[in-house]
Chain A
Amino acid sequence: MKPADVSSLRMLRRARDRIDRDYADQIDIPALAAGAGYSREHFIRAFRAAYGETPGRYRTRRRVERACELLRSANLTVTEICHLVGFTSLGTFSARFAEITGMSPTAYRQQAAERGGPAPIPGCFMLMWRTGLPAQNASLPEKPGPAAGP
Chain B
Amino acid sequence: MIKGISIVSVWVLDQESAKEFYAGKLGFSVTNDLKLDNGMRWLTVRPPGSENQELLLMDPLHSMLDEETGQQVRALVAKGALSPGVMATSDCKGDHSTLAGRGVEFTQEPADRPYGVEAIMRDDSGNWYSFTQHKFLGD
Contact = CB atoms under 8 A, between A and B. Distances in A.
Interface of A: 3-4, 6-7, 9-10, 12-13, 16-17, 20-21, 50-51, 117-118, 120, 122-124, 147-150
Interface of B: 13, 74-75, 78-83, 86, 105-108, 111, 113-115, 118, 120, 122, 126, 128, 130, 132
Contacts of A149: 79-83, 128
A111 B41 CA distance: 52
A14 to B, nearest CB: 8
Contact of B107 (A9, A21, A50, A120): A21
Nearest to A150: B120
Contacts, number: 64
A54 B107 CA distance: 19
A118 B112 CA distance: 12
B78 A122 contact: no
A9 B81 CA distance: 11
B126 A118 contact: no
5 contacts: A10-B126, A21-B106, A51-B79, A148-B81, A150-B120
Given A118-B114, A148-B81, A17 B105 contact: yes
A20 B114 CA distance: 21
Contact of B13 (A6, A16, A122): A6
A6 B78 contact: yes
Nearest to B86: A122
B132 to A, nearest CB: 8
Contacts of B122: 17
A122 B108 CA distance: 13
Given A6-B74, A10-B126, A17-B122, A124 B108 contact: yes
Given A17-B107, A51-B79, A120 B120 contact: no
Contacts of B107: 17, 20-21, 150
A72 to B, nearest CB: 10
A12 B79 contact: yes
B74 A122 contact: no
B17 to A, nearest CB: 12
B91 to A, nearest CB: 18
Contacts of B105: 17
Given A20-B108, A21-B107, A124-B120, A13 B115 contact: no
